[in-house]
């Protein structure tokens, strides 16, 4: 957009830029800056317009964008241009992701390159390598308490190794996703150290208070994120003699985005990692970016403005790079992280579908799809050019983040139902085969979340101990069923590294005092490569899971109806055990897939009348994509086997 006031400011800034910037070939940079400048200026003005140093800060922001552009390698610039042409590239069904810890999956970054054939064997072509930046070893929060945003932990390798990994992946047509921890730093970060030593400049990077007065006001409305291990949202820092805001662990200091210098630093960090070859950046804990007294300090309007700014700036320097919003918040809030408008107010292209994840776990506990069905139906629609990251498990706990209203629609009492699901997964419910542990129990509210590996949560551990073949089969079916959902729902499926070989809970973390209090480590174990080898041995648990997932992944990639163009329709069927939806190829509407998941332990009947009104089963049978067999109706109904699913096409 051309608007006089912002354009004249742009002209002034271009004159004031560092002299070396003026002489370089910046054709594409200037085109993009011109296109985005009005938005950048308006947003920056909304947030920081009343500061006397506003213009100086704008110059510093544009300097940052230009310097990072100059540094951007030719191959990455080329890929930016290609993605500008093919801007829907990431909505394709061909992408299948996996999240893994570099050191726990392989040894280090070099080792990871050697392990890529395992991922390719499964069909994974997007790798989210969990954070690898320098953290204090004993207070790392699994990589989310960063001490130096520009330095890879030497145990993993160097920045050059990341760039080498990125280019190896590119050659294999694979994508690299990396974290940027935007909300906080470690208390050992240089900024925090200098704040502690009394430097006002760096105290202004955080929320620092002399006494409890302001913290107490904040505490009235702020929930606790880690109530069991890090209660409260403020920590007394002895050296500084002040209180500092620490929403997560007491060693993670929240950054203060009311200070534009913080935003500019973070944009520089984002662009630095974009320049190392990351295709996708996972922005951690984005819901928390703006703190306001009297609010819960999550999902604030300004947090969205900050993300829009980050996106607009990234589009100027590295437009091919996508953002993932990690916002584990209420269903109605998550989709706001895509932005309000695909062009004028874009935020992140991808968002964790935490709602769908939690709903799937509800279906596992209840053995029906009642809450799941209502929850999916009421998922807010998303923007164009935005897609979900669909997952079953990740490195974090499972929070039951679906809406009470969907629980009520399913006929349950919300409080009792949540209690049941928690009890079910944490082994407090008689007869449950799940082996999870409660995480973040809050005695004040009665809330808790759930830790545990996928396989242990669905009963594989119990079944193996009891050598109960039927129960082993049920657990394997559940694992495959859950994956069939994330692979067909619409969005990028993100597998978790041990899940394709049925990795159980591990208690190795208990021996490490730095980890023992955080039971999320029970599902972050070292990948067992000899166990993985068993995937080649017919009849083993590993082979049964791995080969099923591998096949589903391959089928997903072939099935154009699985690309994500808001082409899913939920079908109302009269059986609460089933989740039924159709997916339609946006290019060819005759190309459709009918997805039916049965979460019950008994086979379920589905009358075809409910399907034929939508044009399915008109010929009396449909083809099961997974087996190639025809599924025929019998006496007006089809049968879906226990804990099983169909992907059906004409």
Decide if residue 326 touches ligand OTU (CB under 6 A): yes
Print burial letters for 446-478: b (CB count within 10 Å at least 16), e (below 16).
ebbbbbbbbbbbbbbbbbbeeeeeebbebbbbb
Our answer to whether residue 284 is catalytic in this structure is yes
Cα–Cα distances (Å) from 381 to 233, 332, 333, 568, in that order, read 33, 10, 11, 11
Decide if residue 285 touches ligand OTU (CB under 6 A): yes
Q: How far is the CB of 422 from ligand OTU (least distance, A)?
A: 14
Q: With contact defined as beta carbons under 8 Å apart, do 583 and 593 qualify? A: yes
The token duo for 332 is 């109605």
Q: With contact defined as beta carbons under 8 Å apart, do 97 and 492 qualify? A: yes
Range in contact with ligand OTU (rule: CB under 6 A) among 150-158, 268-276, 283-291, 472-480: 283-291
Q: How far is the CB of 564 from ligand OTU (least distance, A)?
A: 22
Decide if residue 436 touches ligand OTU (CB under 6 A): no
Distance CA 37, CA 14 (A): 12
Nearer to ligand OTU, 356 or 412 (CB): 356
Q: What is the DSSP string of 609-649?
A: HHHHTTT-STTSEEEETTT--EEE-BTTEEEE-TTEEEEEE
Q: How far is the CB of 226 from ligand OTU (least distance, A)?
A: 7
Among 264, 327, 363, 500, which residue interacts with ligand OTU (rule: CB under 6 A)? 327
Decide if residue 396 touches ligand OTU (CB under 6 A): yes
Cα–Cα distances (Å) from 359 to 99, 353, 367, 486, 581, in that order, read 20, 10, 12, 12, 15
Range in contact with ligand OTU (rule: CB under 6 A) among 282-290, 379-387, 428-436, 559-567: 282-290
Per-residue 3-state assignment (H helix, E strand, C coil) for 300-362: CHHHHHHHHHHHHHHHHHCCCCEEEECCCCCHHHHHHHHEEECCCEECCCEEECHHHHHHHHH
Q: Which residues contact 263 (CB under 8 A, 6 or more apart)?
A: 47, 61, 257, 306, 309, 310
Decide if residue 347 touches ligand OTU (CB under 6 A): no
Three-state DSSP at 570 gives strand
Decide if residue 287 touches ligand OTU (CB under 6 A): yes
Q: How far is the CB of 228 from ligand OTU (least distance, A)?
A: 12
Decide if residue 640 touches ligand OTU (CB under 6 A): no
Decide if residue 202 touches ligand OTU (CB under 6 A): no
Decide if residue 563 touches ligand OTU (CB under 6 A): no
Q: Which of 161, 224, 326, 633 is catalytic?
A: 326
Judged by CB under 6 A, the chain residues 230 through 269 that form the site for ligand OTU are: 248
Nearer to ligand OTU, 226 or 420 (CB): 226
Decide if residue 625 touches ligand OTU (CB under 6 A): no
Our answer to whether residue 80 is catalytic in this structure is no
Distance CA 592, CA 585 (A): 6
Nearer to ligand OTU, 327 or 455 (CB): 327
Decide if residue 133 touches ligand OTU (CB under 6 A): no
By CB under 6 A, the count of residues binding ligand OTU is 17
| Active-site residue set | 284, 326
Which residues are at the interface with ligand OTU (CB under 6 A)? 141-142, 144, 181, 225, 248, 284-285, 287, 326-328, 395-397, 399, 449
């Amino acid at each position: 957009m051309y608007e006089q006031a912002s354009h004249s400011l742009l002209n002034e800034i271009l004159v004031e830029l560092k002299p070396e910037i003026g002489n370089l070939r910046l054709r594409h940079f200037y085109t993009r800056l011109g296109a985005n400048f009005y938005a950048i200026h308006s947003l920056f003005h909304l947030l920081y317009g009343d500061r006397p140093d506003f213009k100086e800060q704008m110059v510093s922001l544009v300097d940052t964008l230009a310097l990072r552009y100059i540094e951007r390698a030719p191959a990455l610039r080329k890929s930016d241009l290609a993605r500008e042409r093919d801007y829907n590239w990431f909505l394709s069904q061909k992408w299948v992701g996996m999240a893994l810890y570099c050191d726990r999956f392989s040894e280090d970054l070099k080792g990871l390159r050697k392990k890529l054939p395992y991922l390719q064997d499964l069909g994974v072509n997007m790798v989210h390598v969990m954070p690898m930046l320098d953290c204090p070893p004993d207070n790392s929060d699994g990589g989310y308490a960063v001490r130096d945003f520009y330095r890879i932990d030497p145990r993993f390798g160097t920045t050059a190794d990341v760039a080498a990994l990125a280019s190896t992946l590119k050659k294999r047509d694979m994508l690299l996703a990396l974290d940027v921890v935007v909300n906080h730093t470690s208390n050992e970060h240089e900024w925090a150290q200098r704040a502690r030593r009394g430097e006002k400049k760096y105290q202004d990077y955080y929320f620092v208070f002399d006494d409890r007065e302001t913290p107490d006001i904040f505490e009235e409305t702020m929930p606790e994120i880690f109530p069991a291990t890090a209660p409260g949202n403020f920590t007394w820092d002895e050296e500084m003699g002040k209180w500092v805001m620490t929403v997560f662990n007491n060693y993670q200091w929240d950054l203060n985005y009311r200070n534009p210098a913080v935003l500019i630093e973070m944009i520089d960090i984002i662009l630095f990692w974009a320049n190392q070859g990351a295709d996708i950046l996972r922005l951690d804990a984005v819901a928390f970016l703006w703190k306001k007294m009297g609010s819960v300090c999550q999902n604030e309007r300004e947090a969205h403005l900050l993300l829009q700014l980050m996106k607009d700036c990234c589009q100027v320097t590295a437009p091919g790079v996508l953002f993932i919003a990690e916002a584990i918040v209420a269903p109605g809030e998550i989709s706001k992280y895509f932005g309000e408008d695909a062009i004028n107010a874009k935020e992140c292209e991808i968002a964790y579908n935490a709602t769908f994840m939690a709903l799937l776990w509800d279906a596992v506990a209840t053995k029906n799809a009642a809450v799941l069905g209502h929850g999916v139906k009421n998922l807010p629609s998303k923007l164009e050019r935005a897609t979900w990251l669909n997952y079953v498990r990740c490195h974090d706990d499972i929070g039951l983040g679906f809406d009470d209203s969907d629980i009520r629609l399913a006929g349950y009492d919300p409080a009792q139902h949540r209690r049941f699901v928690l009890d079910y997964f944490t082994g407090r419910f008689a007869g449950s085969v799940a082996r999870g542990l409660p995480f973040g129990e809050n005695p004040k509210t009665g809330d808790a979340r759930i830790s545990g590996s996928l396989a242990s949560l669905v009963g594989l551990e119990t079944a193996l101990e009891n050598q109960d073949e039927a129960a082993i089969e049920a657990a394997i079916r559940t694992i495959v069923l859950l994956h069939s959902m994330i692979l067909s729902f619409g969005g990028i499926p993100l597998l978790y590294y041990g899940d394709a070989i049925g990795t159980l809970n591990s208690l190795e973390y208990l021996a490490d005092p730095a980890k023992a209090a955080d039971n999320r480590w029970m599902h972050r174990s070292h990948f067992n490569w000899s166990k993985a080898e068993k995937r080649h041995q017919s009849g083993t648990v590993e082979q049964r899971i791995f080969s099923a997932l591998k096949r589903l992944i391959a089928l997903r990639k072939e099935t154009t109806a699985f690309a994500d163009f808001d082409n899913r329709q939920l079908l109302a069927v009269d059986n609460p055990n089933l989740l039924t939806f159709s997916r339609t190829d946006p290019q060819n509407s005759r190309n459709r897939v009918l997805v039916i998941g049965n979460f019950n332990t008994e086979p379920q009947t589905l009358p075809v009348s409910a399907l034929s009104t939508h044009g399915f089963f008109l010929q009396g049978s449909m083809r099961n994509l997974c087996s190639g067999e025809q599924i025929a109706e019998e006496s007006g109904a089809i049968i879906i086997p226990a804990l099983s699913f169909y992907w059906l096409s004409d």
